[in-house]
Amino acid sequence: MKLHEMRELLAARGIQLTRSLGQSFLHDGNQLRRIAALAELRPGDRVLEIGPGLGPLTDHLLAGGADVLAIEKDARLAEVLRERLTASCAASPDATTASRLQLIQDDALAWLRREARDWRGWKMASNLPYSVASPLLIELADPEHGPDLMVATLQLEVVQRLVAAPGSKDYGISSVLVQLGYEPAGSFKIPRTCFFPEPDVDSGCLCLRRRTTVALTPPQHRVFGRVVKRAFSERRKKALKLLRFDWPTDVLAEAWPALNLPEDIRAERITREQFIQLARRLASLHELC
């Protein structure tokens, strides 16, 4: 879908885009092809797309042979997308294309939390609404039941946080929570001029691949989330001091040297593996109680 086609379609329907919903659509064909390539599409792939808008990426996913489950919050755009793809499929020799799209009009984050499901065997490829991109990815990035592969267009600063290493200024809660079960598998920057309307921030596309080994059991995973969020709750404070709000001092005092953690360490210098080991220890404490 070219830029002039987007403008004409929106104007014909009298649709004013809402910036608060992150409605800025990628129209550059080269960038859309790069996203589809990063998703490693094969015929028969099941792909979740969040925030399809007018469907420029949806077109590429369907053309790659994928079965697409698309979730669009804006009822106006969902109606336009459904009509546009129906008309396009009617004119196409591939009559099965229409049957390979399931379109749901709903708030994606609320839907994901309400309709808990196993996404193993699926991929996610989306130009995510920037206002809710981080919570959406954290919700999907379940180490055991998340999609096999996630390809997302995000604010560039969010991409930098998600791939950040310990000790860097970008390393934080989202870095650790997502990297628990996923490892970065490629990224690229997308110029602002490739979007309509042009956003005020830089963008990037990131690929995340689910790790083959699940590091934590579900109870340990829940403790892991509590530990990470508490440790990063005040970045300037020592992690040991913060964690004492939730766990016994003597247990933490034993864990710290066992994990080679200095007493004055702050959360941004604690590695993924150290957080994992700490969560295992603290979860075992709950099992004994």
What's 206's domain CATH number? 3.40.50.150
> CATH code at 226?
1.10.8.100
* pLDDT at site 289: 42
Average pLDDT of span 246-257? 94
Whole-angstrom distance, CA of residue 44 vs CA of residue 65: 6
Whole-angstrom distance, CA of residue 70 vs CA of residue 51: 7
Q: Are residues 25 and 85 in the same domain?
A: yes
In this structure, is the dihedral angle defined by the CA atoms of residues 179, 182, 183 and 189, taken in order, positive or negative? negative
Task: With cut-offs at 50, 70 and 90, classify the pLDDT of residue 84.
Answer: confident
Residue 277 dihedral angles phi and psi, to the nearest 5°: -65, -40
Average pLDDT of span 117-122? 97
Q: Which of 206, 188, 187, 179 is nearest to 273 (CA)?
A: 179
Run of H or E residues at 276: helix 272-288
Tokens (6 digits) for 52 = 């399809």
Reduced to 3 states, what is the DSSP secondary structure of residue 229?
helix
Whole-angstrom distance, CA of residue 75 vs CA of residue 147: 26
Q: Are strands 195-196 and 149-155 parallel, antiparallel or unpaired?
A: unpaired
Q: Are residues 196 and 281 in the same domain?
A: no
Q: How far is CA 156 from CA 26, 79, 201, in A?
A: 15, 30, 8
Task: Select from 186, 210, 234 the last residue of a domain.
Answer: 210
Q: Are residues 115 and 187 in the same domain?
A: yes
Percent of the chain with pLDDT over 70: 94
Q: Which of 202, 200, 198, 171 is nearest to 184 (CA)?
A: 171
Give the pTM.
Answer: 0.92
How far from each other are the two terminal CA atoms of the chain, in whole angstroms? 59
Q: Are residues 106 and 249 in the same domain?
A: no
Task: Select from 159, 191, 210 the last residue of a domain.
Answer: 210
Whole-angstrom distance, CA of residue 238 vs CA of residue 256: 12
Residue 88 pLDDT exceeds 80: no
Q: Are residues 29 and 148 in the same domain?
A: yes
Which residue in this structure is represented by tokens 């934080």?
Answer: 172
Q: Are strands 25-26 and 101-105 parallel, antiparallel or unpaired?
A: unpaired
Q: Are residues 138 and 95 in the same domain?
A: yes
Edge-to-edge strands of the sheet including 122-127? Answer: 101-105, 67-72, 46-50, 122-127, 149-155, 203-210, 182-190
Tokens (6 digits) for 268 = 């941004």
Run of H or E residues at 207: strand 203-210
* pLDDT at site 23: 81
Q: Are residues 133 and 67 in the same domain?
A: yes
Residue 288 pLDDT exceeds 60: no
Paired with 104 in beta bridges are: 71
Q: Are residues 154 and 89 in the same domain?
A: yes
Q: Are residues 236 and 113 in the same domain?
A: no
Q: Are residues 29 and 87 in the same domain?
A: yes
Task: Select from 152, 179, 210 the last residue of a domain.
Answer: 210
Q: Are residues 140 and 259 in the same domain?
A: no
Task: With cut-offs at 50, 70 and 90, classify the pLDDT of residue 93.
Answer: low
Percent of the chain with pLDDT over 90: 86
- Per the structure, the complete domain to which residue 258 belongs is given by 218-288
Reported as a single tens digit per residue, the pLDDT across 135-159 is 999 999 999 999 999 999 999 999 9
Q: Are residues 159 and 226 in the same domain?
A: no
In this structure, is the dihedral angle defined by the CA atoms of residues 14, 86, 40 and 31, taken in order, positive or negative? negative
Number of domains in the chain: 2
